[in-house]
Chains A and B, each alone.
Chain A
Amino acid sequence: MLAYAGRRVLATIPVMAVVALFVFSLLYIAPGDPAAIIAGDQATPDDIARIRATLGLDRPFLVRFGEWSWRILQGDLGTSIFTALPVTALIRQRIEPTLSLMVVTLILSVGVAVPLGVAAAWKAGTLVDRLVMTLAVLGFSVPVFVISYLLAYVFALELEWLPVQGYTPIASGLWPWFRNLILPSIALGSVYVALIARITRATMLEVLAQDYIKTAAAKGVGSRGLLFVHALKNAAVPIVTVIGLGIALLIGGAVVTESVFVIPGLGRLTVDAILRRDYPVIQGVVLLFSFCYVLVNLGIDLTYMLLDPRIRY
């Protein structure tokens, strides 16, 4: 297993190299010019040209790519064109809110979706099943921003239970930290809950129809043991796969959720950087997201071995 994990970690290097080349090329050919944005609305074309030159944006593609790659190899993601702060510093400022949002969303979503999916499969065809599937369809269909606004309206403006916006660092206390994350996590987790609940139900239905489950039931295993020990463990591989793949959904959804709930996370940093054409920041954040995604996939593959001893690499 360790050798496999080592090989997989090494395999991330060419993947990241391709991602780096792709991101850099895409931004190079994309329209827009940070110099024009920096110079402001009253700037003359000469001002813009001079700013472009001082930023080095007038140099050839290969020179710029070479310099950027060399710095990346040294662990330097560059400096933001607009803020003059290192990209690593910007990421450091923003990573806690995004990680917090994703972890809380993940825990809430899995904690809600898996039992719902199991219940729907156990009570297939009944009102419980229909209710769970209706919720799943709603979760898929209603856009995250609509859910966000509804939650903010009901729980913040009307009931005044929770804040509308903002983020409190975990260092300021667990409850203030969690309080700011409740609404964004529910909003962001809605699609995720729907996805996991549906796949859990489908997989559980398949497993519950297996002979060994009937045997276990015939031997007198209780319904809780049947569901959570015998069935769920064997249904876990596809569920874990979907949970892993869904992290991409969370990254995408975080952009909207962070904007609506004014959370200073990486999603907003990315959108702001794209709108301003802050190339070093976009490149740095995309590289980071890609790296995380590769690591998540690796984690999922390794989890398979823990869940199903028959799986060996």
Chain B
Amino acid sequence: MDRRSLLKGMAGAGALAASGGLSAPALAQGAAARTLRFVPQANLANFDPIWGTQYVVRNAAALVWDTLYGVDDTLTPRRQMVESETVSDDGLTWTFRLREGLRFHDGEPVRAQDVVASLARWSARDPMGLMLRALQNELAPVDDRSFRWVLKKPFPKMLLALAKNNAPCSFIMPERIARTDPFKQITEYVGSGPMRFARDEWVPGARAVFTKFADYAPRQEPASWLAGGKRMLVDRIEWIVMPDPASASAALQNGEIDWWENPISDLVPLLKKNRNLSVDIADPLGNIGSFRMNTLYPPFDNPKVRRAVLMAMSQEDYMRAIVGDDDALWKPLPGYFTPGTPLYNEEGGEVFTPGGNLAAAKRLLAESGYKGEPVTCIVAQDQPITKAQGDVTADLLKRLGMTVDFVATDWGTTGSRRASKAAPKDGGWNMFHTWHAGADCLNPAPYTAIRANGEKAWFGWPDSPPVEEAIGAWFEATTPDQEKAAMRRLNKAALDYVVYAPTGFFLGYQAWRKAVSGIVKGPLPFFWGVSKSA
């Protein structure tokens, strides 16, 4: 034994003794095994999944509130709180029946009245919910376990709307809570899911704790993403917020945490070398990088200028700036939809070429009549993904011969400035960078960023009737072939107009200690089925 090993051994023994580890009774060791310590992607700053639509809120809410339906890992909606559903022959009346034995965390049974109030609140905030509201004749309970949704027009995507995992999800809350104005935050957290939210232990910005709800009635089917039997194999889950990735990495290596949702790619090689850790892709649906151009003001009010930028882009440059040299983490994306999913297509994607076609782009820019107007490019420096993309774009625009007004700022400022329709010189903008979860880009339903309905569209306010027509066709499609045809038209129309510029498809890792098992890849961390050995 060398001096270093001896020192480490003594230190380890000392630390163990000091922490009570040597004398810990079996009960204490068991308690440790039943507590899962998890580092989420962000701070859980609020806990109303309808009022606040951040992913971290949705992820925590999925533990505490259940949904009527849930998507499984084949992206198929499955029954969850619902026992059965019927739809009338004309497709206008849906009747749903709840499973028996469903209870809220305060012990009260889940009634149809609770579901109706929850759906009413959700549908005031969710894009698909708003569509349903526009078609709604009546949403009302039939009895304690059944409710009816009567529409003016068939809505073939009903089950998808109720099952989707995109925020806001249609979580079921007690009626008295669900009656809260959807634009105001709830202050009572009585759930319907497998874990209770320990409000008295919540330290926003630092810690959130969830404890097992003994009366939860899981389905009998095996769990698959948000569907199936959500069986909790741990009694307590502690979310520990760690804003500093280096600290999270050290804590995971030291055994102070069990599971880290999103380690940064720079630290992954270090984690992979540690024999006590497992590292794998977190979400196979990944993310789509993007920048948006403001179609209200020159130069991007001209579609030729937008096309010229698209033509000049090298998606590889963007992706390497985001994920580094790990080729397993990215792929080019000649379109707007998540690769590997049923509706993915590359129609119109020939505008992208490997490395970009700068010469052709310059010709198109000259043809567009671009007069050297400055491009106000807003780049949030506190988000590594937006910063990386912004740096690549600034260089791209300069090489293209455009004048760049690079505004380095933070995400909070970007968030408010991008909503401004003022001219760029008056506090508006020409371009900002962001990214979209691949789970939001499977189809047009939750995909706000693909809409091109002018004033009502997402920031940049694209206005393209062909894009909107294709989206409408997808909503009305009743067969997979009809859906695919609509999506091909949509991808092409959106690229022709340049609703936004996709910078590529990228994945991220998750890491956990080998003592933890049952972790699956998915669009959010699923805690059911996850266990931990002592």
Contact B244 A260 (CB under 8 A): yes
- B83, chain A: closest CB distance, angstroms: 31
- B385, chain A: closest CB distance, angstroms: 12
- A224, chain B: closest CB distance, angstroms: 35
With A33-B419, A54-B184 as known contacts, state yes or no: A160 contacts B412, CB within 8 Å.
Answer: no
Distance in angstroms between the alpha carbons of A156 and B241 in the assembled complex: 19
A294 at the interface (CB under 8 A from B): no
A80 at the interface (CB under 8 A from B): yes
How many B residues touch the partner, as a band?
Answer: 35 or more
Contact B244 A40 (CB under 8 A): no
Contact of B205 among A36, A43, A160, A268 (CB under 8 A): A268
Contact B187 A161 (CB under 8 A): no
Residue of chain B at shortest CB distance from A270? B205
- B130, chain A: closest CB distance, angstroms: 10
Contact A159 B8 (CB under 8 A): yes
Distance in angstroms between the alpha carbons of A179 and B418 in the assembled complex: 46
With A32-B412, A160-B254, A268-B206 as known contacts, state yes or no: A262 contacts B247, CB within 8 Å.
Answer: yes
Contact of A48 among B410, B419, B436, B448 (CB under 8 A): B419
Cβ-closest 8 pairs across A and B: A33-B416, A264-B206, A40-B53, A36-B415, A32-B412, A31-B413, A82-B45, A164-B250
Residue of chain B at shortest CB distance from A49? B419
- A293, chain B: closest CB distance, angstroms: 23
Give 18 A-B pairs besides A82-B45, A84-B185, A260-B246 with Cβ atoms closer than 8 angstroms: A34-B412, A36-B412, A36-B416, A40-B52, A42-B458, A45-B419, A82-B46, A84-B46, A156-B254, A159-B8, A164-B250, A179-B18, A262-B240, A264-B206, A268-B243, A269-B205, A275-B382, A278-B45
Distance in angstroms between the alpha carbons of A278 and B412 in the assembled complex: 10
B43 at the interface (CB under 8 A from A): yes
Contact of A31 among B7, B52, B243, B416 (CB under 8 A): B416
B135 at the interface (CB under 8 A from A): no
Residues in A35-89 with C-beta less than 8 Å from chain B: 35-48, 50-51, 54, 80, 82-85
- A309, chain B: closest CB distance, angstroms: 47
Most chain B CB within a 10 A radius of its CB, from A153, A159, A271: A159
A277 at the interface (CB under 8 A from B): yes
B103 at the interface (CB under 8 A from A): no
Contact of B203 among A51, A93, A163 (CB under 8 A): A93
Contact A38 B46 (CB under 8 A): yes
Query: C-beta contact mask, B4-18 vs A, less than 8 Å → 1, else 0?
Result: 000110011011001
Residue of chain B at shortest CB distance from A274? B412
B456 at the interface (CB under 8 A from A): yes
Residue of chain A at shortest CB distance from B455? A45
Residue of chain A at shortest CB distance from B427? A31
Residue of chain B at shortest CB distance from A272? B205
Which residues of B pack against A, CB within 8 Å? 7-8, 11-12, 14-15, 18-19, 43, 45-46, 51-54, 125, 127, 166-167, 181, 183-185, 187, 203-207, 240-244, 246-247, 250-251, 253-254, 256, 382, 409-413, 415-419, 421, 434, 436, 440, 446, 448-449, 456, 458-459
Query: C-beta contact mask, A126-169 vs B, less than 8 Å → 1, else 0?
Result: 00000000000000000000000100110011111111111000
Contact of B18 among A51, A175, A262 (CB under 8 A): A175
Contact A44 B187 (CB under 8 A): no
Contact B185 A277 (CB under 8 A): no
> Can you sample 22 A-B contacts with CB below 8 Å?
A32-B412, A33-B412, A35-B416, A36-B416, A37-B415, A44-B448, A44-B456, A44-B458, A82-B46, A82-B52, A83-B45, A83-B204, A152-B247, A156-B250, A159-B8, A160-B11, A160-B12, A160-B15, A161-B11, A259-B244, A262-B251, A275-B411
Residue of chain B at shortest CB distance from A173? B20
Contact of A51 among B43, B183, B206, B250 (CB under 8 A): B183
Contact B15 A54 (CB under 8 A): no
A8 at the interface (CB under 8 A from B): no
Chain B residues, CB < 8 A from A165: 242, 247, 250-251, 256
Contact of B242 among A39, A156, A262 (CB under 8 A): A262
- B274, chain A: closest CB distance, angstroms: 10
Contact of A40 among B14, B167, B410, B417 (CB under 8 A): B167
Contact of B410 among A54, A157, A164, A275 (CB under 8 A): A275
Contact of A164 among B184, B254, B446 (CB under 8 A): B254
A261 at the interface (CB under 8 A from B): yes
- B396, chain A: closest CB distance, angstroms: 23
A230 at the interface (CB under 8 A from B): no
Residues in A228-247 with C-beta less than 8 Å from chain B: none
Contact B205 A157 (CB under 8 A): no
Contact A38 B51 (CB under 8 A): yes
- B358, chain A: closest CB distance, angstroms: 31
Contact B456 A260 (CB under 8 A): no
A90 at the interface (CB under 8 A from B): yes
Distance in angstroms between the alpha carbons of A176 and B411 in the assembled complex: 37
Chain A residues, CB < 8 A from B421: 45
With A33-B415, A39-B53 as known contacts, state yes or no: A94 contacts B203, CB within 8 Å.
Answer: yes
Distance in angstroms between the alpha carbons of A39 and B410 in the assembled complex: 17
Most chain A CB within a 10 A radius of its CB, from B14, B412, B449, B458: B412
Contact B247 A264 (CB under 8 A): no
Contact A275 B18 (CB under 8 A): no
Contact B247 A260 (CB under 8 A): yes
Chain B residues, CB < 8 A from A41: 53, 434, 436
Residues in A1-57 with C-beta less than 8 Å from chain B: 31-48, 50-51, 54
Chain A residues, CB < 8 A from B256: 163-166
Contact B204 A85 (CB under 8 A): yes
Distance in angstroms between the alpha carbons of A190 and B41 in the assembled complex: 31
Most chain A CB within a 10 A radius of its CB, from B12, B204, B241: B204
Distance in angstroms between the alpha carbons of A260 and B52 in the assembled complex: 27
Contact A157 B204 (CB under 8 A): no
